[in-house]
Every structure is written in structure tokens, then in C-alpha cells.
Structure 1
């Protein structure tokens, strides 16, 4: 069906509300530690979309007009409905969260089709541009001065908490900034329009985010291909004003990039100049192929787990939002924790959660629609605005291959607006004959949506506030000596109170709650640690580290049944993991089953199924039960398998032989001498001072 122009309304403020939201989402941040940055951005985006939708339909109740429609809206709507259905076999809470996310994205695509059509698109372009500029300026201020009003996990991050999040957002907006510079090349003074893309470009380079740097390279390739295409078709190339604008951009980037800063040396590249920092980050992909703990290899591990997930459930997926719940089952057997809570590839995560039928077809239809819009139409008209939108979507797709911008408020909002503006010229009017009842229904839906958004935002804010307050108290507890009983007791009470309020508001908060329980366990606050761990395990039942902590904590309280139940689940997840044997040994020893524990330990030693941590636990079990041969056997195994720890191992063997219950003076002296022999000369005096005084002279004689 051919598209027809859809008239705008003079009393429709929805475009202004959406434009303000597009500016505010990247520009504002939380200046304190009691609310996460993306929670604020999600609230701003949700309220902006819902308020714009409410005003949109209210205006049409007063003055009815046809609505613009395009089938592209059905893609997020389909994903929303499938997310609701997947709660049957997936994670009910996370499926509901995903359905709301896609519902908002679908609403925003629909609104963008209608309110950002024709001349109004420039308003959205400027809003996106100035929002990105505001975020870019925060990055530049931090790099050059070290000042920032926003808490940051991985600076320079502006208002995004993590520099990767900031870079992925800003780099997506750059094609729009370059379009605005090109559009105003002849209106403003010569070259002045070239200043528009400078802040965004500099900010992306300052972050050193590799996916964003790759997106810049993709943009450059697209620009070269576009120029070559125009040349082949004998179309006009950039004029003098356009070349002057581009030259201004390049000169400003080079000059600003030449300003040194000590802040670059704090980033992973450890350089103090921007260009050295950028080149080091670009080269780090190949250099990080070796260390197993590098960020690139961790991403590869997550991608492999996502592929295994997709192979296991190719048609239905594991359920919307359930990637973080199911991923431990698909990780390498020696992994005890999730490597992250997102797959670091929006494409792979979509396929693994939604399956090939819904997720795969949605991606295929989206790609086909974008390719159709990219195809030039005779007689090859000048349409730079369309290609700027396509370039921005290409950039977003590039960073989505290696990150999760679509899971964040800024990236999801950009995706919806770009998609809506791209297809608004080919949208067509529908529902024009349904009258005011249709629009009144829209008013009712968006009004209810606003009320729900208020309630959900208050709930999310309350959960984060109390959990982050509890985390503050745990940090104080970690610095408090265990001997300060009164202080420890007061802090534990505060932690319990704040954690209770936070978990009641949101029992599915995986990230913060376990951090609280770790410190509580370190201070032997077992009851408080247990109920926190149980709340997390109820929502994330496949994380080995959580089950291990729960089993150990219950064992410390002598809860044999609870410890065995957690241990059984842990063994089912990681049956061949040496760390699980250590957990089993500790559980047996702490629940009154020393004989069983010793028998297991002897069998594992005989079969060689041990690691350093397990050998240390076997040694401790031998000391506890006075099974000296078992303790000595564990130390001999450790000395042989990990010779770098031999000095400590021989010293401990000497202490066992010197124990009055063993009283083997000759063996003790020989063990101490062997430990002394493997030490460097600078450490020997300190070693000798720790040898029992009655044996020290004999040990020194043999050296």
C-alpha cells in the first residue's frame, strides 16, 4: 500500500515530550550511590514514552486524525507476546520484565512513526544529538580534570556508570550528528557545522571501547562505499561547504586528541595520550587471545554458552530474560559463577531466549525491512536523512554484536526511535474511521501505563536504595575487627533491616544480595547470610557458587538436612568439579560425620582427584580428628603437585611431627630443613624464627 501524508495537530505536544526524553536519558545521572544509573534512565524513558502516548491520544480525542501504521511495529509486539507466553517454561518474573520492555519499545516505534514524521524528524535529530553531546562533555571533563558528579564503575562513563555503555550509546548517535553538520553546512559560517560531531567522536575515542571503535570503522567503510556509489552513478559529491565542515571535524578531533591526560593511564591501555590509548585498545583484541581471564576471552566463553543454550532449545529458547538464570548450566564445568548477567551479544541472547522461530524470524524480518529501505529508488533521489538513520542502526547493530545496548534504557530507546523515523515516510494511515472511541481507549491504556510505571519505579527505587544501604554497612563490617563485638552486632542489625526491606521490594535482585551475604559469612553471621542466599537461590537455582555458599553456611550451623539438600543440587550441576569435593568434605566434617569425611578424603587422595583448596581442607580435617597420616599425606600431595608452596608445606609437616601427640623429632627437623632449603636466602631468617625454639638449633646445623 502506498504511503500518504498524515496531518499533524497543533495541540499535540507528544513530539516535544519525546524529544525532551531523548535529550534527558543520556544527559542526566544519579549523583549518589543509592540508585543505579540505568534505573533512573529506565524511569525517564518509561515516563517520557507513556506521557507522550497519553498526550498523543488526548490530542486526537479533541481533534480526530488517522493514525500512521507500518508492520514493523509488529516485531516488538510479537516479542512482547512471546515473552509473556515464555513465563510458562521460563522465569516468570524476568519474562514479565522482558514483555514490558518490548511493550515500551513497540509503543515508542508506533509513536515515532506518527510524531516524528516529515519536518518533525529534525526535532528528534537535535534532541538525540544534544543529549549525546551532554554525555560526551561529561566524559571530556572527567578525562581532562578527573571531576565527575556521578558514581562510576568503569570511568570515563559520564552518566552511564560504565564506559562501554556510554560509548555504545554515543557512537550510535554520530551519524545523526554528521547529518546535522552536513545539513547546515551552507546555513552557518564556513566549517562551523563541523563542530557538531566533535564531542561525540572525541568521547568515543576517550572511552577506548573496542566495539565502539569497530563501529567507527564500519561508518568509515560505509562512507567510502556511499561516495563510490555516487561516483559510479555520476551523482554530485560533497560540495565545498561540505568538505570544509568535514575538515573542521577532523582538525578539531586531532587537536583535542593531542591533549595529554593522566586519566588515560588509569584505563586498560595504560597510556597518557589519546591516540596511543586508541591504538592500544584496538590492538588489545589480538593480545587478549592468550590470557584466559581477559575480557575478550570471557565474552567468548559467554558466546559459547549462548550457542550451547540455543543448540539445547533451538525452537522455543530458554524463555525471555532467562539467559542469566540458565547460563550456569551451559558454562564450562570448572565455572562456579556466571561470567556476567548478559550474554554481551544482544543477537545471541535474543536467539537463545526466544528461539529460532520467534527470535530468528523477528531478526530476519527486521533485516529485510531495513534492506528494503536501504535500496535506492529511481531516479536516485537525494535522501541523506534516510541513510543517516540506516547508518545509526548499522552502528547500533555493530555494538549489539559485542555488548547489550538494547537491554539498557538508552540503547532500547534509540533503537525504537530510529526504527520509527526510518519507516515513517512509508507508513500509511489507518483507523481513521473508528472515531473518538479508539483514541479514548489509547488514553485509558497510557494512563494505566503511567500509574503502573509510578508503582514499578517506586518499587525498583526502594529495592536498590535499601540493598545499596545494606551493602554500605557490609563494607563497614568488612573493615571492623571481629573482636569489636558490639560494633559488629550493630552493623549486622542494620544490614538485616536494610536487606529485608530491599529483598521484600524485589526478591529477584541477583547482583547485590550475594555481595552482602559474602561479608556476613566472612564474619560468621551464618543465619543472616543463609536467608539472603536462600532468597537468591530461589530466583537463580543453577548458580554453583550460591549453592556452595548455602551448603557451607548451613553446615556451620549443623543443619545436616539443609546442607545435604544444597550439596545434592550442587553435585548435580558440577559432578566432576574438585571444588565440589571440597564443599562435600567441609559439609561432612561440620555435620558430625568425620569418619565418612576421612574415608572420602583418603579415596580422593588415592585417585589423585584433588586441588589446592581440597588438600588444605583434608589437612585441616586430619588436624581436627588427629589423623596425622591423613594430614601428612595431604601436605605431601600439595608439595608434589604445587612445588611453589613446598616451603609452607614442609613447615606444616614439621609442625605435625613436632606435635606432642606424634613426637617424631627427627622427622620434624628433616621437614623443617627441606622447607628451609627451597626458600631464597632473604626469607630464611624469618622462616627459622617460626620454627619451635627447641628444634631451631638442629635445623640450622643441617643448612
Structure 2
């Protein structure tokens, strides 16, 4: 089996188990450096590496520039330096995943891992603990194998459509009759409302791509999926934890700012503070990963997110802006926003190529990237080690697959 398949699958499989995911990532990074040193000329000819490098620099350069007057230089510098492990791991992926067979093998293992997470989540939903005996740390969420870290919903985003691609390829469209409703409902029982919002954008992106490809799903599949989702959803909402989350969200119907703020888990307060931070630091922001340390200077009295950082013994706030555009502007200012816009342009260029080539697996990765990076999401920081690893693996896989001619389909009949 291709070593890239093994290491990427291990990195994803290890994600629920703390920092253990760093080991396969580190090995990939070291091998990526080796590939650059020994196969430089061959890699230079790969357009996938060029665009991946450009995409990486869209995030790394603004982060590096933001260090010039960062709120917390040490934290920012560690982030800027450590980001290179994701880049070199991506180089390894692009270098070693070079055949349709290796891409298909990896898709199979990613699908199996995701199915395991989903099965464990539903077991936890049914009996209160997962198959390892762990209860979710938050009674309003289902965390599956992620235990005290309620990341299950978020971690489904990168590879949900890869699972659907693999299942359809292996078992035909009939497999989707069961999988689509189960996966959609898995997002809802996770309790991650931001992940549900990402799912909406993913569905819309998928619909647009299928329309462009003139790939028509059977009406029976769509109708049955809607019916199964409806029936299963009616059962799911009887769960006490789900009812608690729904009740929390419905507080917004009271109409006041305070009600909307509470219903959004105080995102309005967070974003209002972010805007004050941007106004005061418009060019290169407060420094990458400096948001929580600059936050107290811009927060209003009684702010929900204010607390004392036990390690530094100083006031601190929310970890990040929970919105990718606001994060770019607060941490890196207009320079960060320009980098983000260029990154979106690179993705748009790849989308045109994916659609023209009918590259369905690359399309599946692209839909995952929409879920991760769509500018109207309320999400997790791409500069965090945990989420960053998932995002940069996804991006590397997207570019590797999108330049693979062997994955292109000549007609919709091959779908």
C-alpha cells in the first residue's frame, strides 16, 4: 500500500486521540522535506505543488507580517514556524499520491474512519456512552470517539462527501439511500450548530456541481432521503439533549439583541468586539493567534468571554473570532484579508478545472473545502494545531486529486 495512504489515514484516525495525530503529520513533513531535496526537479514540474504552495503562502505570509507588532509575539512566532510542518506534509501528499489507485485506496480508508465515528456517535446517542464507555462532556452534544472535545460534527466536514463518493463507487446509488439521511442527522445530533451551517453550504455546492455536470440523481433517492430524514428527525428531536439545544436556539425569536446574542452562543458580542479590534488595528491586525490576548482591551464590561489566563496570570478573552473573514482581519488586518481573497481565487480556478474534467473525487474534496472555508461560516481557527492539520490535509488532497488526469471522467455515465 502507498505510504501516503497509510500516513494520511493514520493522521485522520488519530485526530480524536489528543496530540497523537502530530506523529504521522511530523513523519509526512520529514518525508516531504526529503522529497523536495531528492526530487526537486520532478516536483517543480507539478502544477499541484505550485498552487498548493501559493495557497499556503496566502495564509503564512500575512501571519508572518502580523508579527511586526503582535500582541503576543511568542505565541504568534510559534504558530508561524510550526505552520511549515503542514506545508511539508502537504508536499509529501502531493508527491506520493500520484495514481488513481492510491487516491481510491485513501478514499476507502477515510470513508471507513468516518463510518466508525458515525456509528459510535449513534451508539452514544442511543445509550449515553460511546463504545469505549465515554460520555460526551457536554450533555447537549454527541462527541463520538472525540470524548471531552466536542469536535465530532466539525471533523465530519472535510470527508463527508469523500465517503459518499466511495460508497457510490463501491455499492452504487442505492448506498446513498441510507447514507445521506444518516450523515445529515449525524450533523444535527453532534450539537455543533456551526457544522450544520457548513453542511448547508456543502449541500448547495454539491447541488451546483451536479447541475453543471448534468448529473441527475434519481427522484426516488431524493424523495426517500427527505422522508427518512423527516421521520428520523422527528425521533431525534425527542431526545432531551436535542430539545435543550433547540430551545436554546429558539431564544432568538424574542427579538432583542440579548436574546439573539445568547441564542448564537454570544457570537454577536464576540463579533462586535472583533470589529472594534479591526478598527484599531486595520493594517496587520493584533498578530496571528493574538486575538484572545488583545480581547480584554476591546471587550465591554461583563463580556461573556472574559477570563483570566491561568498560564500567564493575565486577562484573556475568546480564543479566536469564530469567523474566517473576521479572523483574518483581526489577527492580520487588511493584509490577511487580501491573502484570504487570493486563496479563494485559487480555489475558484481549481473549481473550473474540476468541473471541466468531471473529476468527481476532486469535487468531493472541494465540497469539503467549502464546508471548512466558506466565508459565511462560524468556524474554528485554521491556525490552531488541531483544526489546522485537518484543513491542510484536505487542501493538499484537493490539489493532488484535482491535477490527477487519471481521476477525470469522460462522461456522466461513469459517475
Classify the TM-score, shorter chain: 0.7 to 0.9
1:286-305 matches, within 5 Å, as 286-287=253-254, 289-291=256-258, 294-296=262-264, 298-305=266-273
Q: Which residue of 1 aligns with 2:105?
A: 123
Distance 2:36 2:287 in 1: 38
Q: Which residue of 1 aligns with 2:88?
A: 107
Change (3 A) 1:340 1:54: closer
1:432-581 matches, within 5 Å, as none
Please say if 1:54 is aligned against 2:30: yes
Q: Deviations over 1:127-155 (max 9, x none)?
A: 33333322222321221101143464323
Choose which of 94, 99, 105 in structure 1 pairs with 2:75: 94
Q: Which residue of 1 aligns with 2:324?
A: 346
Distance 2:383 2:165 in 1: 27
Note the aligned Cα RMSD (angstroms): 3.6
Q: Which residue of 2 aligns with 1:135?
A: 117
Change (3 A) 1:205 1:288: farther
The higher relative CO (CA closer than 8 Å, separation ≥ 6) is in 2
Please say if 1:266 is aligned against 2:241: yes
Distance 2:272 2:383 in 1: 20
Shift of 1:399: 8.5
Shift of 1:196: 4.4
In structure 2, runs of 5+ residues without a counterpart are 308-315, 405-415
Q: Which residue of 2 aligns with 1:153?
A: 137
Distance 2:373 2:248 in 1: 21
Shift of 1:413: 2.5
Shift of 1:353: 0.8
The answer to whether the Cα contact below 8 Å between 2:51 and 2:399 also exists between their aligned partners in 1 is no
SS in 2 for 1:316: coil
Normalising by structure 2, report the TM-score: 0.78
Q: Which residue of 2 aligns with 1:237?
A: 216
Shift of 1:14: 3.3
Distance 2:56 2:90 in 1: 9
Distance 2:230 2:106 in 1: 29
Structure showing greater Rg = 1
The answer to whether the Cα contact below 8 Å between 2:76 and 2:290 also exists between their aligned partners in 1 is yes
The answer to whether the Cα contact below 8 Å between 1:305 and 1:331 also exists between their aligned partners in 2 is yes
The answer to whether the Cα contact below 8 Å between 1:87 and 1:320 also exists between their aligned partners in 2 is yes
SS in 2 for 1:375: helix
The answer to whether the Cα contact below 8 Å between 2:181 and 2:229 also exists between their aligned partners in 1 is yes
In structure 1, runs of 5+ residues without a counterpart are 1-9, 30-39, 272-276, 429-703
Please say if 1:363 is aligned against 2:340: yes
Distance 1:400 1:166 in 2: 21
Choose which of 192, 204, 211 in structure 1 pairs with 2:194: 211
The answer to whether the Cα contact below 8 Å between 2:251 and 2:262 also exists between their aligned partners in 1 is no
SS in 2 for 1:153: coil
SS in 1 for 2:394: helix
Shift of 1:102: 2.2
The answer to whether the Cα contact below 8 Å between 1:167 and 1:203 also exists between their aligned partners in 2 is yes
Q: Deviations over 1:519-572 (max 9, x none)?
A: xxxxxxxxxxxxxxxxxxxxxxxxxxxxxxxxxxxxxxxxxxxxxxxxxxxxxx
Change (3 A) 1:114 1:59: closer
